[in-house]
Amino acid sequence: MSDPVRLAKRVAALVPCSRSEAERYIQDGWVTVDGRVVDRPQHPVTTESIVLHPDAQLKAVEPATMLLHKPEGLDAFATAEATALLDAATHWPDDASGVRLLDRHFHHLTPLAPLEPDASGLIVLTQDGRVRRRLTEDLDGIEQEFLVEVRGDPGPYGLARLNRGLSYRGRALPPCKVSWQNEVRLRFAIKGVVPGQLREMCAQVGLDVVAIRRLRIGRIGLAKMPVGLWRYLPATERF
């Protein structure tokens, strides 16, 4: 049996190309070893079957942004619990983004647009500085949509007060759009919301919150993605 060599050296001889170009092909996920994508140039190989994808290109790989359907009870912003949910096994099979799954996508992810631990729904995790700035500096101006399950009686003017006329933490809240989806669920379309605000708004009109689910941030929604799964946000989609 031949001595192991670095995968980059074998790819450079196979293509042929320079060693640095071989490393880029490997890091960008274009190389398989016995049918499995390996993105570490230093990976040792001997007699394995090494294949460079026929569509392989030497171009910069965009930083990844992932959309996760967060389950209830997950504190996505205080710990690494959210990133622990992101792997190949939890990738939504109906992801239509066309982004190739790479190991590098699961490192240095920042969760954005806070959502309280007891709520479920859309969470954004990104490596992209542009997305990070958009969902920090501009978040208050982006409409978010929530489905809130409640119990109790809001009274004859409760819905009107939710839409206009409440305060939170000593400040008057701007108007928002609240409507009944059914007898126990309210739909909120609201800007500048912070964790705890929806529960307090409901409490002020005599409603107890049973569950909260975030459906949308700006133009980006959950669609039919199940709880606990994630998909990529392609570069063509904007919040």
Domain at 5-52: CATH code: 3.10.290.10
| pLDDT tens per residue, range 112-164 | 999 999 999 999 999 999 999 999 999 999 999 999 999 999 988 999 999 99
Among 3.30.70.580, 2.40.50.140, 3.40.50.720, 3.40.605.10, what is the CATH number of 65-140+220-232? 3.30.70.580
pLDDT at 175: 95
pLDDT at 87: 92
**Within this chain, domains 5-52 and 65-140+220-232 share the same CATH topology:** no
Structure token digits, residue 139: 């978040």
pLDDT at 61: 72
Structure token digits, residue 177: 């759009």
d(CA 52, CA 22): 10
* Domain range annotation of the chain: 5-52, 65-140+220-232, 143-217
Contact partners, residue 150, CB within 8 Å, separation at least 6: 184, 185, 186, 202, 207, 208, 209, 210
d(CA 160, CA 186): 13
- Tell me what the mean pLDDT of segment 32-45 comes to: 91
pLDDT category of residue 1 using cuts at 50, 70 and 90: low
| pLDDT tens per residue, range 67-126 | 999 999 999 887 778 888 999 999 999 999 988 888 889 988 999 999 999 999 999 999
DSSP string across 2-41: PPPEEHHHHHHHHTT--HHHHHHHHHTT-EEETTEE---T
Domain at 143-217: CATH code: 3.30.70.1560
Number of Cβ atoms within 10 Å of the Cβ of 124: 24
- Tell me what the mean pLDDT of segment 183-195 comes to: 96
Query: At residue 55, does pLDDT exceed 80?
Result: yes
H-assigned helices in the chain: 7-14, 19-27, 81-84, 129-137, 158-163, 197-204
